[in-house]
Structure 1
């Protein structure tokens, strides 16, 4: 009898490990929109650039002649429109990053920062 109970318990434990959740089902009631009223360079934009851009566009090896490392370098590409044009995959700009688009919320964060004057904050 104790072996049967133990066997049932282990069977249930084993089968419960086969449960599968996908992201859409788990977070279906969470608002996934991105409303960004303010964005700062240091807290919001720089982490996005570090994660997605600066590994290729750094001072040591600026691919395509573009460096986004440091505020002044980044601001240069903001001022000529190439940063926003590239991340939005706009016509006339090299689409970046090359592996696919940034997350819509990341694009909106950078766009909001630019619309607010791209301050060094």
Structure 2
């Protein structure tokens, strides 16, 4: 009997770490996505710089798409391509190609800027 009790606790101790919840994003409250003050210079351009410029800047215009100047971004936004490539099932190729998709807040931010008329602000 004395051997079974410590063995039981040892076995239980080895199993408990396997019960840990590994998706911390679902456990922690997520910050709200604030799209009320979206500006090109402070929000959109840095986002594009981080996520799009590696493939779509003047020196590396894959697919003949340049997104490193406001006029080009406004042109793509105006014809629906900017949001199209970020929206699954839209008929556009999904971007960024070979990288993780933009999260919901990033897409909502771009959507809000486009809905405001893609202003130079």
The aligned counterpart of 2:24 is 24
1:65: Cα distance to partner? 0.7
TM-score (norm 1): 0.73
Q: State the secondary structure of the residue aligned to 1:67.
A: coil
In the alignment, structure 1 residue 36 sits paired with structure 2 residue 35: yes
Pairwise mapping of residues 99-118 of structure 1 onto structure 2 (< 5 A)?
A: 99-118=99-118
* Count of matched residue positions in the alignment of Structure 1 and Structure 2: 101
Gaps of 5+ in 1: 1-21
Runs of at least 4 residues of structure 1 off by over 6 A?
A: none
Question: How many Å separate the matches in 1 of 2:89 and 2:32?
Answer: 22
The aligned counterpart of 2:87 is 88
Q: State the secondary structure of the residue aligned to 1:87.
A: coil
Across the aligned residues of Structure 1 and Structure 2, the Cα RMSD in angstroms comes to: 2.2
The aligned counterpart of 1:68 is 67
